[in-house]
Each structure stands twice: as C-alpha cells, then as structure tokens.
Amino acid sequence: MNSVWLATILIPYAQPADTTAFTKEQTDFFESRIRPVLVEHCHKCHSPDAAIIKGGLRLDHRDGLLKGGDSGPAAVPGKPDDSLIIKALRHSELRMPPKGKLPGQVIRDFEQWIKAGMADPRRAEKPVETRKIDIEQGRKFWAFQPVKDPRPPRVSDEAWPLDPIDRFIRQKQDEKGILPVKDAGKHLWLRRVTIDLTGLPPTPADINSFLGDAGPGARERVVDRLLASRAYGERWARHWLDLTGYADMMGTSNNVYAEHAWRYRDYLIGAFHKDKPFNRFILEQVAGDLLPAGSALERAGNITATGFLMVGDVEIVEPDKAKMEADHVDTQVSKIGTAFLGMTLGCARCHDHKFDPIGLEDYYGIAGMLRSSPSTHKIPFGVWSQLNATKLPETAEQAAARKEAEDGHERKIVSMVAERENLTAKKKAVESELAANKDDDGRRAGLAKQRDDLAEQVRKLAAAIQHAEFFRSKAPMAYAMGDGANPSDMPIHIRGNPYAPGRVVPRGVVRVATDGRFPPIPEGQSGRLQLARWLADNRNPLTARVTVNRIWQKLFGEGIVPSVDYFGARGEQPSHPDLLDHLAFRFMADGWSQKKLIRAIVLTRTYGLGSANSQAGLETDPDNRLLWRMNRVRLDAEAIRDGLLAASGELTESGGGPALVLEEVENCGSLARKGVNPPNYTHRKPRPTQEFQRTIYLPVMRNNPTADDRIRAFFDFVNPAQISGQRSRTVAPTQSLFAMNNDLFRKRAKSLAGKLMSRHAAEAARMEELWLVVYNRPITPAEREEAGRFLRETRERASEARDAETTAWIEMCHALLASNEFVFRL
Amino acid sequence: MHSFHHFSRRQALCSAACGFGSLALADIAKAMNPLAPRAPGAPAKASRVIFLFMAGGPSQHDLFDPKDFIRKRHGQPIDSPLRPEVTQVGTEKFLALGEVAPVRPRGKSGMMISDLMPHLASVADDICLLRGMNADNPQHASATNQFHTGVFTEVRPSMGSWISYGLGTENSNLPSFVTIHAPGVRTYNSSFLPAAHQGTPLTVPLDPNSLPIENLRNASKSESLQRQRLDLTARLNRRLVGELEGDREMEGMIQNMELAFRMQTTTPGLVDLSGESRATLELYGVNGKETDKHARACLLARKLSESGVRFVQVTMDGWDHHGDIAGNIPRLCRQTDQPVAALLKDLKQRGLLDETLVIWSGEFGRTPWSQDLSGTAPISKHGREHQPESFCAWMAGAGIRPGFTHGETDHQGYSVVAGKVHIHDLHATMLHLLGIDHTRLTWRHLGRDFRLTDVHGSVVREVLA
C-alpha cells in the first residue's frame, strides 16, 4: 500500500550504448567463477527474484553493481580494494553473505575479476522500481496543512453551548441525531476537574466551599484555584515526563545513577505551574543553553530545560562510541518527532519513511544538529560514558548558602577523620592488651569482642568518609546540552550504520512541514536554536495541533486524534478536525498558554456532562467518539497513590529536590574512583518522608525497581525507555491483588480509620466523612444502611481480635479505597 | 496489512491481563478473549516452548566450542579481529585463553560438550547444538532486550508475548506465558500487544516466607474478614456499574477481584512440588546443595508446560565471568547442569519432548581472549569479555534434528564461518516450529506492522528434523 506521495516510478533501466569488449577468456572466467556464486549466494536478496530488493542493490546485471544501492556503488572496475562488494565478502565493513563468509578462493576470484575490469555480459532483464518522496504532494495531507480558524457552527439547541468548543461537539452529534446526556452533578464535576487538573481528589473543605458558592462564576473560581496550585504543576509535569524517557538512572545497565536528573523534573513542575508559554517552553528545552538570559536564575532554568534531550535510556556502557553516539542522537531525534510533531522520525534513520513524506534527509538534517551538540563524554576508566553536566549559575545568596554547606561538610569530614584515628588508636591499644594477656581466657573474650566492635566501627566510618569525600561538591549541576567545538552537517548513515557514511546532508528540518526556507545556521552553531524556533513557529502545522490534542486527551481520556503520538498517514483521523484546528488556533492566539486552554475546556458544557450511558448513544456511537457523555477513566498509578495519601490525610507537600537518596551510604555502590564501573545506586534506604510524598518525587528506576513503592509496576506506568503520550490501561488480576493486599492500600486504610475514629464518636459522622474523603460525595441512605450492617457483621467476625471496632473500620476503609468509584474518575 | 489476528485498541484495553485473567474473560466476553486457543496458520511441530535463559553470557569456548589455535597459544597474544575504535578494558593484550576443562565428543553423534556438563553430555543425542549464534550488541541490557524482543532499545513485545498472541493458551486456568526468575520487566512485557499476553513473573519459593507472586498474602487478619471486605467492595462496584448502565472495564475489574481472591489459594498449589515422586525430585536435584533453586525452577517449568502454558522461561543467572572463569564456570555448571538435563529427560519420559521445544542460550557468548580487570592477575585467574559475534545455544524437542551440530566459527572462535544463526533466525525458527510464519505475525502500532523479527529473520531449515 503506497501513500499518495510515495510515487512508485518505474524506471526503464538504461542499456549502455558502449558494450565494452571483453575477451572470451575474461567472459569465461566470469561465467565459471563469478556468475554461479552470484546466483547461488546473492540473487535471493539482490535481484528481481527477491520479494524486497535488499539495500536497493541489484547484482543480476553489471550496471547494478556500478550503480549500487543505498551504500553507494558496489564495485569500481579495476579497484577491488575500493569496491564495496569485496569489503562485504571479506566481512570487513559489511558482511555478505550474512550467513557466513565465503571461502578465501572465491573472494580472491572476485578480487581478480574486478581488477581485470569486471567483465560481465549481463543486462538488466527487469526494470527497477524506485520509490520517491513527493514533498509537494505530501503537504496535501491534513496534518501538514496550515492551521485554520474555522467558524463555530450553529447547533440544534442554541442554548446548550457554553463555549465555541461545545458547538463543534454538538454539531457532530446533530449530524448523527444523538443527544448528549444530562450534565454531571456538582460533586461529580468537582471531583473530575480536581483530579484532572491536580491529580488529587478535592478535600471536604473544597467540596463545602464550592457547594456554598451560589454566585455566578463559582466554577470559574474553582478552576482558577486549581490552576494556580502547585499540584497542577506536579500533575502536568508528570504527563510531560512520559514524553522524555525520564528516569533517575542514565541507562539500563548497572544502575548508574543520574544524580542531576531531578532538576529537569523540578524545572518542568515550575514551568507548568507558572504557565510558561508553550512556544517558549519548546525553545528552552531544545536550545535553552543558546538563549540570552537576564539573570542567573533565568540562565540556570534555560540550561536545565535542555535536560529534555539528555534524559532517556542511554546505553552509556557501549564500548563502540560511534555507535553509542548515533544511538543517542537517534533517541533525541525520535523524541523531538514524537513529542512535538507526532511523527515517527526514527523510521527515517535507515531508509525513507515508508508511509509518510519524511526522508533520510529530514532525519539526518536534524541529527546533524544534535551530533553537533555532544551530550556525553567518556569517563577516564573502563568503557563507560556519562551524560554531560553543566554547572549552573548561582545568585549571590545561593553561592553563599552553598559555601556554608560545603564548609559544614568539610568540617564533618575533618571530625570523622579525627574520630577514625581515635578509634584506630583505641583498637591498637586493645590489640596490645590482647597480646599481653595471652593466658587469661576470660579477659581475652571481652577484649576480642571490643576489638571486633572497634574494627567494625572503623570500617563503617571509612565508608562514610569515602562517601562524604565523593559528594564533597554542592555546586548545582544539570544534565544539559551544549554546542560542540565543530558543528557541521553529517552524512547519512547507510542502513543506520555509523561506519557506512553516505552523502552529507545539510542540517535542516522536516521539509513537508516547513513553510518556506529553513534559515541558514550561523557559522559555529549547531542549529538547535533554529530547529527550536521552527518547532515553536505559529506556521508549523504540527506542533500546536499535537499539543492541544494531548491536552484534550488528558481531559477527556481520548484524543480528538486518538493516536496522540502519531499524526501520520497510518494514524487515526481526527474525530472533529475543525475543533482540533479551533483549539490549535486559539492556543496560539492566546500566546500558547496551556492554562488558558485548559480553563476553557474544563468550563465547557461537554466537559461537564455525566458519564452514564444512554441507550441511544450506545447504539449510534458505542465508542463515544462524539462525546455524548464524559469518558470514564481509570486513574493512573500516580493518581491512585497520591489519591490514597490525600484521602488518608497523610500526603505531605514537597518542594522537589533529589529523588535518589544518595546521602545514605548503603544506597551507593562502590565509590572508588578507579576500577571499571562508575558508581551505582540501589534504593535500599528511602528517605522517611518519601513514603508520603507525591509519586512524581519518587525515584524512577530503569531496572532495579524500588521495593517499597510498587504501584507503578502494576498500574501501567510508562516504561522509561519508551516515549509515549498515552498510558495503556490494562485490567489485570494482579492489580486486584495489589489493591486487596498491598501495604500501600492497607496502611492508608489504617490511617484513615484511625483519623475517622479519633475525630468522630458517632458512627454516622464517621461514615459521612468517609464517603466525603473517598468518593467526594455524600453517603446515600442505602449505603448508610449497608455500611452499618457491614460494621456489625465485621465486629462480630473480628470479636476475637483485640480491637474489633478498629478492625471493622479498617476493613470498611480498605473496601472503599479498593473500589472502582475511587480508582476511577467518572 | 496481514494482521494475524485483529483486535481493536478498545478490545485491547478491556482485556484482562497477566494470564490468570483468562478465567474472568471467559465470563465477560467469550468472543474476544485474546487468550482463547487458536490454531496456527501452518502445521505445527511444537505446541509449547520452554526457554532456559543463561543470563550473563556463558562461555562457548569452555562449554562447546574450544579451539586448538587458542589452546596452543594459551597466555600468548593473538591478533585482534576488532575495530580499533572499540574501547578495551582488561582485554588490551588479547591473550589467548584455552578452555578451562576438556571438551569431548559425546553420544553417538559425537557432539562436543565439556566435562563440566556431564548431565547434558548424557543427553547429547537429544539436542541440536547451534555453534554459529550471532547477535548485535555486546551489552547485557541491550543484548537481553534483543534476545527477548528482537530489538535493543525500543520497548517491544517479548517473544513469549508474541507466541501468546499468536496461539493463545491451552489451559484457561493458567496464563499463556510464565517467566520464572525474570531478569527485568522488559523480558516479559507485552508492549503494544494486549496486556493479556504479558508474562506472569513467578519466583520459586525457597522458604515459607517468600511468595511466588507479589501481594499474595492476605492483608486482613483472617480470610473471612477479607472475604467480608471484598464482598462490600463488590457490592459497591456492582451498584456503580448499574448506575452507569454498564462499563466493561469495571466489570472486568469486578471479575478480577474474585480471580485474585482465588489466586491466593491456588497459586501456592501451583508451585508446590510435593506431588512429585522422589525419583523425579532426585532427578532434578531438588534439595541438592547447589542445584536446589534451579532444580525447583526447571521442575516447575515442566509442570507448567505440561499443564499447557505456551511459553515458560526459566532464567539462570551468574554466567558473566569477567574474571576467574576457571573458578566460576564450574560452579555455574554444577548449579544448572543436572536440573537442565533432568528437564529434558523428564519431558522425554513423559512423551512431552515431541511437542515441546526447549531452547538454551545466553544473551551472547564470550571472547576467546582473556580479560583481567585488575591488570595484575595471573592468566589462570583471567576471565572473558562479552562476545555477540559468535556463541553457542542449543535446541531440543519438537521438530528439532537431534544429535546435530550446526554452524562453525573461525580458527579462533570469533567469526561465524558457516551456519550463522542470528537472533532473528532463531525467533523465525521457533515460530515456524509452532506453525507460525514469522512474517505474518504482525501488530499495527503507530502506523506500522511490527513483527518479532522486524524486517529480518529466516527459518534455519538445517536444524529441522
């Protein structure tokens, strides 16, 4: 299946006019020694007999060798050493045939044949099929068309819409003759909007204040309060992290920790919290290091933002550094493609994209910019590389605070060293005493124990000193991009192989999504700044559409384009193309403000609909693509954990900071600066506060999961090697086991029960509050009766337990926390 | 384009996951059960696979493929076949390292197997040795990913997940894919395939306090209290589904809670080996000082496979011998040799080997030259570096040519000179034996039809019976 712009062109193969006269001897050599080998070992993949001609190379006629394939000409007559086919047969740069090297005599025959002029009487029997990308044709696809500002349509019930957005929705429903369901009640709407915007449920106080606000604009006031909260930044920063491959580990191998990665996470929380305009947000993440800054703080932020291109699964242990660099650049190109453009750019690393009008040139145009900005360096020992870290500029106060911290740290080292000397001296004294008491067994036992205790203390102290010395510097650092010394265009890597360079392509951007010419890259610059400006340009047809669609997906559970990460030819079509453009246009017109867009969306009639089914809706549109009701969404791992902590009253605020607990010696692997491996990290000893902090502040591990925090392993947390704007939503019995038995649920149930019991003496009041904090709505009479019966029966059953009353309340709290009304947002 | 089985994303979302879910699914929607057994597209030799994964990279030079050239130069420098750009750590001198124990012809076939594996040697005529294995990455994490998913960096479905997707499960009470002592989530994840095809990780409990799967211990003080609690949750859940006039995802969760409750009682039985005869326990080396852990794992693998689990993986790690290989590799052999050979014997005795494909391999092999990270150790204490260019694996059972040695490496055991089997080829062959054409088992994701073998792989006809 070829897309429209992948024109299949049949090129009749030109027959050379000049048929070089070869001697009979030469032709005989070809017929007896060369042709049989070609037929037996090569034709299966490199002739029209092949289902797909591999590497675009044909070996069934002489011109096929001369023209060559993706890797360039296969042979240069007279020059066997310059002929790719010889290199391939020798298994040097390429390895052919792939199944195993041919005998030495055969290779020598080929060398001789090429050296003697490559006598070959064969002519092409079948024409060659070539595919070419047609950029102009490609631009006709909807996603590459400029964003329009469609007029909001008239609808059947003009009183229904609250916002132009509602008109686009209602109009599609009118076309199908579907009616939207009734509006959600106040409690449901408040729970929904609070969870969507902050990832936390509303508190009883939030509920009361909303219910008590009878004036016009009550909903607006709720939304403004939520958007202004830091919790909003924490929630939406986590959505963005799913598009970055973020973890507190550099790569998957050996758990080498990424100690500064948290600064990028904190940067994101701040950026969302302060509603940094999205176009500025792009500039900073792709090229923040190249932007002018008015202050040390701003500069530090800009540098930290480029962590976007640094975090991710980097195979820093790869001993072949050319390969490592190419792979890392690939993850960067792919990330830019997915996160901002909704395009699978990575496909064009080895060949032109099969479905979309994106070619090798587009890929290597961007890759050249990233290769001009090296982001790793080799460490002095072993095979390892590490991510480049930049020291961040500090304000005077920050510098002073750091000086003080470092001085204190030095004093600590000095005192530990003194203590070690002291203990060593004591140990020596005990040892000599032992030597002096050779015969007194009673005394010896005590002394030996004393000596061993001291030895153990010295050992621990030595480890602590080594640790303190290793983490001596308190200078703020961030993993950050920087332009290299010699920015330059790069060659295409044939079939993605860094050792097979093809033609050099100029640095540039995705041509099909470009309006006009890409500006020249100033001498000595990587081009990232120009790339960033192109991504963030109002004329870029993809960026705004992809971004508003992501926001819509987070608020409705499904995107207008359901394949949120892929807007290409094989992606899904937008259900409401005009609405998508309306949102994108409005987003840009509002200065790329995410908060303004989110505010508008959650205040629509559509967002405020109930989530129950209607028979008519189910019949006409069972997948609810027309949004005749609100989609129900199971909470993600973070919202479940954070919601549990909020409901039990145990959630503690955090200002951010390191997720890894590097200050605990036992979490760090060997810190010796020699050896083969860089230090690693195991999350053996969490910080006591971490149990109660929001999930975004917990370490994200790649390979050795944290033992104390397991919910992300069960509830579809995105694997940090993956760039994915939408979590999968699985329904697994292991999740039920988790909710039934894991300590995360059990401890929260206990705390909640304790809180209810200490706060209210009366059963009814406890129940009222339980329903309000877990379901965020009042208990119904039927539920009150049911709960009363449950408590009676459970007390009876637990009569042998020490405290049957407490047991009954814990069980009831646990039952509610594990129920669907809590783990879904309706 | 040629989607093997078509599921919409929505169906994927609604499917109960992680194996054990099939029971619930049968009740929810029989027609769309992703684990329903399916006939393969072609006649199948194998119905099930047991994959014995030797994590770390066992040394083929010491176990199967020693070289005279190397032995004669033991301790002497040899020419490096590597690119000069590749960083060397402890291998800069390229000193030849001879095998640590004799490797001799075994059985009627004369297959070469080390003295370190006497049990495997006794079943040499049942296995097919692949000496021309080939992979593309010299790092554990990447190579392990490639071995399980076909690619190193992207997150893609594991081979067990592909097989589950292709064939479903034979036993609706069990998952289709179980992995015992899994080396990381990416070796059993289903990625873009429906989550029902994800592997279920199991730990063989070696003491009464360890659990075969997480969260299996009842959080309440008694089972009746827990039951009481679950009944309340279920009533609340059913009321909500009623108010919403139906929700498949929530209905699935209601069913799953019951299933989870049953798993608490049935799972310990699943891993319980007390029903096995003494002879069987002894055959595997259960309770043996060094063999116990892997013996239990291998025996459990047989139990699960016999009960119809499509793909069972047992991981045995510790093969990463960068130093003192002469001291380390015999220990690993003592731990694994008897359990592994017992598995083959046991399957054969029960008539199961004819329908079960058994594969043994590491993620890569090791170099013929030595490695010494200290820089000062004598050659007798050296180890070997990773080597994906060539290594050994073996296959046995359904449809495999027994007693056959396939593939050959060069004089020093670095390059494959004949019978090269790339990971993609191994995957293609495995699927072929299960009756699946590897080019047709596809899933559409981000616009592209993905395969286990990507755009590569061909069936290794030579190893087929």
Q: Is B361 helix (H, G, I), strand (E, B) or coil?
A: strand
d(CA A362, CA A367): 9
Is-contact A135 A151, C-beta < 8 A?
A: no
d(CA A653, CA A645): 11
pLDDT over threshold 90, residue A414: yes
For B16, the closest of A313, A703, A733 (CB atoms) is A733
What is the token pair recorded at B328?
Answer: 């380390």
Q: What is the pLDDT of residue A801?
A: 65
Is-contact B440 B459, C-beta < 8 A?
A: no
Which chain B residue's Cα is nearest to A255?
B141
> At A676, which amino acid appears?
V
Contact between chains at B216 and A741 (C-beta distance less than 8 A): yes
d(CA A290, CA B347): 65
Q: What is the pLDDT of residue B373?
A: 87
Residue matched to tokens 């770390």: B56
Is-contact B357 B463, C-beta < 8 A?
A: no
Q: Best interface-test mutation with B: which of A191, A736, A744, A809 has the largest number of B CBs within 10 A?
A: A736
Instruction: Give a three-class secondary structure readout of A82-98.
Output: HCHHHHHHCCCCCCCCC
Shortest distance, CA A546 to any CA of chain B (angstroms) = 14
From chain A, pick out residues whose CB is under 8 angstroms from the CB of B415: 91, 101
Is-contact A96 B416, C-beta < 8 A?
A: no
For chain A, domain boundaries: 6-133, 277-392+482-535, 396-475, 739-825
Could you tell me if residue A117 is left (phi over 0), alpha (psi between -120 and 50 degrees) or otherwise beta? left
CB count within 10 Å of CB B431 equals 30
The Cα-based distances of B86 to A382, B139, B323 in angstroms read 12, 13, 20
Residue matched to tokens 């949750």: B233
Contact between chains at B225 and A811 (C-beta distance less than 8 A): yes
Is-contact A723 A346, C-beta < 8 A?
A: no
d(CA A242, CA A158): 40
Q: What is the pLDDT of residue A20?
A: 58
> At A575, which amino acid appears?
S
Cα B353 from chain centroid (whole Å): 17
Q: What is the pLDDT of residue A813?
A: 98
Q: Band of the pLDDT at A765, cuts 50, 70, 90? A: very high
Question: Can you give the C-alpha Rg of chain A in angstroms?
Answer: 33
Shortest distance, CA B122 to any CA of chain A (angstroms) = 31
Query: If 0-12 CB within 10 Å is exposed, 13-18 middle and 19+ buried, where does residue A465 land?
Result: middle
Percent of chain A with pLDDT over 90: 71
Contact between chains at A721 and B221 (C-beta distance less than 8 A): no
pLDDT over threshold 50, residue A11: no
Q: Band of the pLDDT at A718, cuts 50, 70, 90? A: confident
The Cα-based distances of A598 to A165, A196, A548, A603, B439 in angstroms read 12, 10, 9, 9, 45
d(CA A167, CA A150): 11
What is the token pair recorded at A697?
Answer: 């502040």
Contact between chains at A719 and B153 (C-beta distance less than 8 A): no
What are the tens digits of pLDDT across the range A187-221? 999 999 999 999 999 999 999 999 999 999 999 99
Per the DSSP assignment, residues forming a β-bridge with B133 are: B391, B421
Q: Best interface-test mutation with A: which of B27, B35, B139, B197 has the largest number of A CBs within 10 A?
A: B139
For B89, the closest of A382, A730, A740 (CB atoms) is A382
For chain B, domain boundaries: 9-212+271-463
Q: What is the pLDDT of residue A674?
A: 66
What are the tens digits of pLDDT across the range A157-185? 999 999 999 999 999 999 999 999 999 99
Q: Best interface-test mutation with A: which of B20, B82, B253 has the largest number of A CBs within 10 A?
A: B253
d(CA A358, CA A6): 10
For B247, the closest of A381, A632, A741 (CB atoms) is A632
Q: What is the pLDDT of residue B362?
A: 98
> At B218, which amino acid appears?
N
Contact between chains at B140 and A798 (C-beta distance less than 8 A): no
Q: Is B204 helix (H, G, I), strand (E, B) or coil?
A: coil
Alpha helix positions (H), B170-275: 223-243, 248-270
For B447, the closest of A568, A731, A797 (CB atoms) is A568
Cα A681 from chain centroid (whole Å): 21
Contact between chains at A819 and B153 (C-beta distance less than 8 A): no
For B221, the closest of A99, A381, A798 (CB atoms) is A798
Which chain B residue's Cα is nearest to A565?
B446
Which chain A residue's Cα is nearest to B232?
A815
What are the tens digits of pLDDT across the range B215-265? 999 999 999 999 999 999 999 999 999 999 989 889 989 988 988 898 888
For the whole prediction, is pTM greater than 0.95?
A: no
Residue matched to tokens 């019951």: B258
Q: Is A368 helix (H, G, I), strand (E, B) or coil?
A: helix
pLDDT over threshold 80, residue B326: yes
Q: What is the pLDDT of residue A57?
A: 87
Q: How much is the mean pLDDT over chain A?
A: 91
Is-contact B218 B227, C-beta < 8 A?
A: no
Shortest distance, CA B266 to any CA of chain A (angstroms) = 13
d(CA B326, CA A31): 53
Q: What is the pLDDT of residue A127?
A: 62
Is-contact A315 A324, C-beta < 8 A?
A: yes
CB count within 10 Å of CB A294 equals 7
The Cα-based distances of A365 to A89, A506, A522, A530, A789 in angstroms read 32, 6, 15, 12, 70
Element (H, E) at B443: strand B443-445
Contact between chains at B225 and A563 (C-beta distance less than 8 A): no
What are the tens digits of pLDDT across the range A349-405? 988 888 899 999 999 999 999 999 999 999 888 889 999 999 999 999 999 999 999
Which of A717-721, B168-172, B215-219, B369-373 bottoms out in mean pLDDT, i.e. has the lowest?
A: B168-172
From chain A, pick out residues whose CB is under 8 angstroms from the CB of B252: 731
d(CA A542, CA A341): 5
From chain B, pick out residues whose CB is under 8 angstroms from the CB of A820: 236-237, 240-241, 250, 253-254
Q: In A310-342, which positions are buried (b, 16+ CB within 10 angstroms) versus exposed (e)?
A: bbbbbbbbbbbbebbbbbbbbbbbbbbbbbbbb
pLDDT over threshold 50, residue A660: yes
From chain B, pick out residues whose CB is under 8 angstroms from the CB of A378: 87
Looking from the CA of B406 toward its CB, the CA atoms found within 13 Å total: 26
Is-contact A191 A825, C-beta < 8 A?
A: yes
For B236, the closest of A100, A735, A821 (CB atoms) is A821
Q: What is the pLDDT of residue B31?
A: 37
d(CA B300, CA B280): 12
Q: Best interface-test mutation with B: which of A356, A724, A731 has the largest number of B CBs within 10 A?
A: A731
Contact between chains at B195 and A675 (C-beta distance less than 8 A): no
- CB proximity list for B161: less than 8 A, separation 6 or greater: B177, B188, B189, B190, B191, B193, B197, B198, B199
Chain A and chain B share a number of CB contacts under 8 A equal to: 254
Q: Which residue has the higher pLDDT, B208 or A73?
A: A73
Looking from the CA of B114 toward its CB, the CA atoms found within 13 Å total: 24
Instruction: Give a three-class secondary structure readout of A256-268.
Output: EECCCHHHHHHHH
Q: What is the pLDDT of residue B331?
A: 97
- CB proximity list for A665: less than 8 A, separation 6 or greater: A463, A464, A467
- CB proximity list for A632: less than 8 A, separation 6 or greater: A557, A611, A824, A825, A826, B244, B247, B249, B250
Contact between chains at A101 and B236 (C-beta distance less than 8 A): no
d(CA B201, CA A409): 45
Considering only the top CATH level, what class is B9-212+271-463? alpha beta
Is-contact B203 B182, C-beta < 8 A?
A: no
Q: Best interface-test mutation with B: which of A730, A746, A806 has the largest number of B CBs within 10 A?
A: A730
Could you tell me if residue B157 is left (phi over 0), alpha (psi between -120 and 50 degrees) or otherwise beta? beta
Average pLDDT over residues B415-439: 96
Instruction: Give a three-class secondary structure readout of B338-398.
Output: HHHHHHHHHHHHCCCCCCEEEEEECCCEEEEEEECCCCCCCHHHEEEEEECCCEEEEEEEC
